[in-house]
């Protein structure tokens, strides 16, 4: 099996960290600063019977729609028409309008997995789902997978979930 997976989400949710830790190597550049990833970055993760081609997208920029940012947003939309699976990454403690704006770029065509990142920062895991439900993302996600990209928690489960759609 093989397929292409886009990683999308507002800046700083941990997209590049997720890609790096899935690949087990430093490929994308991670930083606290938004816009570190200006161009799409590819990474291939190969297991015995599956090849995953990941595309790390630049964060969707909400405020300053200058020429550069228009270019960034176009890259995101382009990538999304070409992939088999979309990972929509959020940080559950910091949901906001920036997340909704990225979500508005998604179509319901490729299976889209809600990746709840930074789960290591959540003290009480029981609060996680209500928190997300209260925010009401209004999108037909096929799956919800909590992970910690930084601590490499639950990444196997994420790969398993992706594999269902390849």
Scanning 32-40, 98-106, 123-131, 153-161 for contacts with Mg ion by CB under 5 A, the matching segment is 32-40
- Minimum separation from the CB atom of position 40 to ligand GDP (A): 12
Question: Does position 12 bind ligand GDP by CB under 6 A?
Answer: yes
Question: Does position 150 bind ligand GDP by CB under 6 A?
Answer: yes
Question: Does position 111 bind ligand GDP by CB under 6 A?
Answer: no
Q: Residue from 14, 43, 110, 111 that binds ligand GDP (CB under 6 A)?
A: 14
Q: Return the bridge partners of 8, or none.
A: 88
For residues 118 and 92, the answer to whether their CB atoms sit within 8 Å is yes
> Per CB under 6 A, which of residues 88..107 are in contact with ligand GDP?
none
Q: Write the burial class of residue 88 (CB in 10 Å: 0-12 exposed, 13-18 middle, 19+ buried).
A: buried
For residues 34 and 59, the answer to whether their CB atoms sit within 8 Å is yes
Question: Does position 11 bind ligand GDP by CB under 6 A?
Answer: yes
Q: Return the bridge partners of 153, or none.
A: 148
What residues contact residue 33 under an 8 Å CB cut-off, 6+ apart? none
Scanning 2-10, 35-43, 94-102, 158-166 for contacts with Mg ion by CB under 5 A, the matching segment is 35-43
Question: Does position 12 bind Mg ion by CB under 5 A?
Answer: no
What tokens were used for 58? 């630049």
> Per CB under 5 A, which of residues 36..75 are in contact with Mg ion?
37
- Strands 51-56 and 2-8 turn out to be parallel
Question: Does position 121 bind ligand GDP by CB under 6 A?
Answer: yes
């Amino acid at each position: 099996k093989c397929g292409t997976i886009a990683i999308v989400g507002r800046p700083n949710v941990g997209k590049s960290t997720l890609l790096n830790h899935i690949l087990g190597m430093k490929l994308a550049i991670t930083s606290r600063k938004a816009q570190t990833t200006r161009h799409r970055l590819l990474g291939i993760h190969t297991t015995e019977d599956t090849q995953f081609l990941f595309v790390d997208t630049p964060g969707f920029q909400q405020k300053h729609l200058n020429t550069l940012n228009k270019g960034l947003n176009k890259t995101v939309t382009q990538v999304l028409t070409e992939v088999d699976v979309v990972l929509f990454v959020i940080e559950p403690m910091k949901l906001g309008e920036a997340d909704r704006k990225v979500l508005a770029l998604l179509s319901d065509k490729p299976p889209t997995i809600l990746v709840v990142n930074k789960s290591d920062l959540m003290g009480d895991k029981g609060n996680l789902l209500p928190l997300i439900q209260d925010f009401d993302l209004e999108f037909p996600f096929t799956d919800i997978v909590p992970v910690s990209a930084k601590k490499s928690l639950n990444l196997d489960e994420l790969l398993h979930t992706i594999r269902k759609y390849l």
